[in-house]
């Protein structure tokens, strides 16, 4: 049996870490292309430029076009070649990072990744998701290597809306349950081998960190405050979950997420929110113990993750729509087939209905929407 695990080369995290970026990229080269999101450019670009200047690193900055298409990837790769940059730095949301990663591979440059939220576990991975210009999923581009440097500035993450951290916890919540299931079923992971105990242990540490520190980290994030609990959860959402999913394996939660994206009503909800609902559904499908399910449900409620249809835009959803989602979730090649038993479309539909019905028994289990409504009702604090 061949076991395999993959990792990014270097992971950096901390308050104002971006000001130190030159120290970490100097060994790679003296010229870089920076691909940056429009909405963060005004503060990311000067911080990187200032740091780069201290080490004499030349940075060519380009604004991200908005979609991770092959055209955009090739545009960035061409710039990197034309200015003879040794590395491509991606700074911003998931699509910007995926474009920078793919362009670094296409142009044979080194890969630096700066996520500005802790909302998914994609930054450390050797994977880019390619879309059409219309924003439809096109294909997974599996990269031959992971990023050279992943740098997370906790101040930037803490300044982002707290809902992103919550969604990141939803993506990270799936990691242990998917890795555990995939490994017990003898499924291969993203590294092309069977799960190592390293992958599995990191996935478990991810889950334990969320349960212990998730609620207080979210409270801190709501106030844009950096605490040790927030640092732990940012690490869990980004590094532990990233390593855990790639070297552990995926199962039903992400397939159910993929199925849910078939329904337009879910499009305003974040990746991690749908993955969290998919996790609860997976636990029900797997007939996990009541204790385990209630632990997860209590956690989801505490960090405003949706445990009901309403929380992912599916209030009054029809069974036909649920079938459409379940058909996509059980399509050939989906990781739901890493479950150690056969799963039918009806099994998935019924498990989703049961997850929603269980969630609705708990006050506050409908996620961020409900929480925002409550916050609006609260009187403004006296100044
Ligand atoms: Zn995910």
337: annotated active-site residue? no
Does 47 share its domain with 122? yes
Q: What is the pLDDT of residue 378?
A: 47
255 and 368 inside one domain: yes
**Share of residues in the chain with pLDDT > 70 (%):** 96
CA proximity to 336, closest of 323, 350, 326, 346:
326
Backbone angles phi, psi at 137, to 5 degrees: -55, 130
| Statement to judge: residues 48 and 122 lie in one domain | yes
C-alpha–C-alpha distance, residues 98 and 18, integer Å = 19
Looking at the structure, tell me whether residues 62 and 198 fall in a common domain: no
pLDDT average, residue stretch 271-293: 97
Mean pLDDT in residue range 171-178:
98
Average pLDDT in the chain: 94
- CATH number for the domain spanning 167: value is 1.20.1090.10
Q: How far does residue 344's CA lie from ligand 1's centre (Å)? A: 23
> Is the confidence at residue 376, as pLDDT, over 80?
no
Query: Residue 159 has what pLDDT?
Result: 96
User: How is the chain split among helix, strand and coil, in percent rounded to 5?
Assistant: 55, 15, 30
Assess if residue 309 is contained within a domain.
yes
* Span from the CA of 379 to the centroid of ligand 1 (angstroms): 36
- Report CA(184)–ligand 1 centroid distance (Å): 20
Q: What is the arithmetic mean of pLDDT over 65-80?
A: 97
- pLDDT given for residue 371 in this prediction: 58
3-class DSSP state of 285: helix
For residue 277, how far is its CA from the centre of ligand 1 (angstroms)?
12
Confidence at residue 373, expressed as pLDDT on a 0 to 100 scale: 58
For 150, the domain range is 10-157
pLDDT of residue 383: 36
Spot the catalytic one: 180, 257, 321, 356: 257
If asked whether residues 145 and 172 sit together in one domain, one would say no
Active site residue: 153, 171, 347, 356, which one?
171
* Of 100, 120, 111, the residue nearest 10 (C-alpha): 111
Both 151 and 294 in one domain: the answer is no
Q: Do residues 283 and 255 both lie within one domain?
A: yes
Domain boundary among 157, 182, 203: 157
What span, in angstroms and rounded, lies between the C-alpha atoms of 328 and 313?
18
Distance 128 CA to ligand 1 centre (A): 12
287 and 195 within one domain: yes
Q: Is the pLDDT of residue 367 over 90?
A: no
Q: pLDDT for 81-137, tens place per residue?
A: 999 999 999 999 999 999 999 999 999 999 999 999 999 999 999 999 999 898 777
Active-site hit among 98, 254, 347, 356: 254
pLDDT at 347: 98
Predicted local distance difference test score (pLDDT) of residue 382: 38
Choose the catalytic residue: 271, 321, 347, 356: 271
180 catalytic per annotation: no
pLDDT digits (tens, 9 = 90+) for 228-277: 999 999 999 999 999 999 999 999 999 999 999 999 999 889 999 999 99
What is the percentage of the chain residues whose pLDDT exceeds 90? 90
Residue range 202-214, pLDDT digits in tens = 999 999 999 999 9
Distance 20 CA to ligand 1 centre (A): 29
Domain-terminating residue out of 137, 157, 177 = 157
Distance 174 CA to ligand 1 centre (A): 8
| Domain assignment present for 42 | yes
Output the pLDDT for position 138.
85
Q: How do residues 336-353 score in pLDDT, each as one tens digit?
A: 999 999 999 999 999 999
CA of 335 to the centre of ligand 1 (A): 12
Number of domains in the chain: 2
- Give the pLDDT of residue 44: 95
Pair 32, 150 in one domain: yes
Tokens linked to 307:
């445990």
Considering 157, 186, 217, which residue would you say is the last residue of a domain?
Answer: 157
What is the CA(251)–ligand 1 centre distance, in A?
Answer: 11
Residue 241 lies in a domain: yes
Residue 369 scores a pLDDT above 80: no
Q: Is 145 within the bounds of a domain?
A: yes
Is residue 375's pLDDT more than 80?
Answer: no
Cβ atoms of residues 179 and 194 within 8 Å: no
pLDDT in the model for residue 370: 62
Residue 244 lies in a domain: yes
DSSP secondary structure code for residue 11 in this structure: E
CA geometry: angle 131, 134, 137, nearest 5 deg: 30
Active site residue 267: no
- Residue 4 falls inside a structural domain: no
What distance in angstroms lies between residue 39's CA and the mean position of ligand 1's atoms? 23
Same domain, 307 and 170: yes
* CATH value at residue 148: 3.40.50.1970
Tokens of 141: 């581009």
What is the CA(170)–ligand 1 centre distance, in A?
Answer: 8
Do 177 and 29 lie in one domain? The reply is no
Q: Is residue 54 part of a domain?
A: yes
Bridge-based pairing of strands 137-142 and 127-131 is: antiparallel
- 182 CA → ligand 1 middle, Å: 15
Could you write out the three-class secondary structure of 39-72? Answer: HHHHHHHHHHHHHHHHCCCEEEEEECCCCCCHHH
Query: Residue 58 C-alpha to ligand 1 middle, in angstroms?
Result: 34
Say whether both 14 and 120 belong to one domain: yes
Q: Is residue 215 part of a domain?
A: yes
């Amino acid at each position: 049996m061949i076991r395999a695990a993959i990792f990014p080369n270097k992971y950096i995290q901390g308050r104002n870490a971006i000001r130190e970026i030159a120290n970490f990229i100097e060994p790679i080269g003296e010229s870089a292309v920076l691909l940056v999101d429009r909405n963060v450019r005004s503060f990311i670009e000067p911080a990187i430029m200032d740091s780069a200047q201290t080490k004499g690193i030349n940075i060519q900055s380009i604004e991200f076009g908005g979609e991770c298409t092959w055209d955009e990837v090739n545009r960035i790769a061409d710039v990197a070649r034309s200015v003879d940059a040794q590395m491509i730095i991606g700074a911003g949301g998931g699509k910007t990072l995926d474009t920078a990663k793919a362009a670094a591979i296409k142009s044979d440059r080194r890969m630096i990744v700066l996520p500005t939220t802790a909302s998914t576990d994609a930054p450390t991975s050797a994977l880019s998701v390619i879309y059409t210009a219309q924003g439809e999923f096109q294909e997974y581009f599996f990269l031959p290597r992971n990023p050279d440097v992943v740098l997370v500035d906790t101040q930037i993450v803490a300044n982002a809306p707290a809902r992103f951290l919550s969604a990141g916890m939803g993506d990270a919540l799936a990691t242990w349950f998917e890795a555990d299931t995939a490994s017990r079923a003898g499924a291969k992971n993203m590294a092309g081998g069977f799960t190592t105990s390293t992958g599995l242990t990191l996935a478990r540490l991810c889950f334990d960190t969320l349960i212990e520190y998730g609620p207080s980290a979210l409270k801190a994030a709501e106030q844009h405050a950096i605490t040790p609990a927030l640092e732990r959860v940012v690490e869990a959402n980004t590094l532990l979950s990233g390593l855990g999913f790639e070297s552990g394996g995926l199962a039903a939660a992400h397939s159910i997420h993929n199925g849910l994206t078939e329904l337009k009503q879910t499009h305003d909800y974040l990746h991690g929110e749908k993955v969290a609902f998919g996790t609860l559904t997976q636990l029900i499908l797997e007939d996990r113990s009541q204790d385990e399910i209630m632990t997860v449900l209590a956690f989801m409620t505490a960090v405003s993750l949706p445990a009901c249809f309403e929380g992912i835009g599916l209030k009054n959803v029809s069974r036909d729509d649920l079938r459409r989602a379940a058909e996509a979730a059980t399509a050939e090649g989906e990781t739901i087939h890493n479950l150690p038993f056969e799963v039918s479309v009806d099994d998935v539909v019924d498990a989703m209905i049961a997850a929603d019905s269980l969630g609705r028994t708990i006050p506050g289990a409908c996620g961020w929407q409900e929480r925002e409504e409550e916050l609006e009702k609260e009187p403004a604090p006296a100044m």
